[in-house]
Amino acid sequence: MTAATPAPPMIKAAAVNKFFGDLHVLKEIDFEVERGQVVVVLGPSGSGKSTLCRAINRLEPINSGEIAVDGKPLPAEGKELAALRADVGMVFQSFNLFAHKSILDNVMLAPLKVRKVSSTEARKKAMELLERVGIANQADKYPAQLSGGQQQRVAIARALAMNPKVMLFDEPTSALDPEMVQEVLDVMTDLAKEGMTMLVVTHEMGFARRAAHRVVFMSEGEIVEDSSPEEFFTAPKSDRAKDFLGKILTH
Ligand SMILES: Nc1ncnc2c1ncn2[C@@H]1O[C@H](COP(=O)(O)OP(=O)(O)OP(=O)(O)O)[C@@H](O)[C@H]1O
Ligand SMILES: [Mg+2]
């Protein structure tokens, strides 16, 4: 790439369609996320938010359209896919840590197996990341010995261990007790400030207002609004967004 070529968007989806049987769950989705941008995805249950995340990570095949990460179209399968998938870190509602491995081993595993780094290097990096998410002192424990908030922070450290270009978060705080939500949001906010490109599905409106550069509102498989948080929360344009905000802000 020459210096004159503008950098491609970090995530680009063009005319993406996805069906589950007859159900059309992503309808001609067009959207881009610039590098360093934090985009919060909102929308009612069943609107396609998780499917969009999974499609970006190729955990879910799409029926038509194109998805590219950092300018590279996602191949359907094979070695190239494994490499591109490693560029995209994903954190889910359920932490999915390996129960029989220590916290440290959970974070070291993928770099050792996929990136083939030395164990000394993997350990050093894992400890740095555990430090960064505030749980280095728990490194030798097992997941079940940690609180939900701590486990989710391990899951974030584990995703970061692969040096991803993008982080996808699908309702990372929805399974947590209320008192643990903030500690996870704080880690995410720090990550955003450091310039990580992030796509975040969340019901945490405070996070959306404070940390997001953009809010994307989905309804029935479509992107209905794509605006600044300020604009979305104070002057939503569509009836669907107004209805959604009415429900979520008053409950
Ligand atoms: N594996 C699947 N097989 C069939 N239908 C599915 C599958 N996964 C999701 N769906 C359907 O696709 C639609 C979109 O689901 P998706 O999980 O993406 O919604 P969502 O916006 O993430 O909802 P929620 O807020 O409840 O997490 C829903 O109607 C859902 O029932
Ligand atoms: Mg979902």
Cα–Cα distance, 164 to 168 (Å, whole number): 10
Q: Does residue 158 lie in a domain region?
A: yes
Q: Does residue 30 lie in a domain region?
A: yes
Q: Does residue 4 lie in a domain region?
A: no
At residue 78, what are phi and psi to the nearest 5 degrees? 95, -170
Full residue range of the structural domain in which residue 107 is found: 11-249
Would the CB of 54 count as within 6 Å of ligand 1? no
Q: Where does residue 239 rank: exposed (0-12), middle (13-18), buried (19+ CB within 10 A)? A: exposed
Q: Are 56 and 88 in contact (CB under 8 A)?
A: yes
32, containing H or E segment:
strand 23-33
Amino acid at 122: A
pTM of the model: 0.94
> Which atom from ligand 1 is nearest to the alpha carbon of 218?
21
In this prediction, residue 187 carries a pLDDT of 97
Q: Does residue 64 lie in a domain region?
A: yes
Please give the structure tokens belonging to residue 37. Answer: 């941008």
Residue positions counted in the chain: 251
In this prediction, residue 29 carries a pLDDT of 97
Q: What is the pLDDT of residues 170-225, one digit of tens each?
A: 999 999 999 999 999 999 999 999 999 999 999 999 999 999 999 999 999 999 99
In this prediction, residue 3 carries a pLDDT of 60
Q: How far is CA 137 from CA 14, 41, 54, 96, 130, in A?
A: 44, 33, 33, 21, 8
At residue 200, what are phi and psi to the nearest 5 degrees? -125, 115
Return the ligand number nearest the Cα of 54.
1
Name which residue sits closest to atom 25 of ligand 1, judged by CA.
45
Name which residue sits closest to atom 24 of ligand 1, judged by CA.
45
In this prediction, residue 132 carries a pLDDT of 95
Number of domains in the chain: 1
Expressed in percent and rounded to 5, the helix, strand and coil fractions of the chain are: 40, 25, 35
Residues in the chain, pLDDT under 50: none
Report how far apart the first and last C-alpha atoms of the chain are (Å, whole number).
50
Probe target for ligand 1 pocket from 22, 29, 45, with the most ligand atoms within 8 Å of CB: 45
How many Cβ atoms from other residues are within 10 Å of residue 67's Cβ?
Answer: 19
Would the CB of 151 count as within 6 Å of ligand 1? no
Cα–Cα distance, 141 to 146 (Å, whole number): 8
What CATH number has the domain bearing residue 149? 3.40.50.300
Q: Does residue 6 lie in a domain region?
A: no
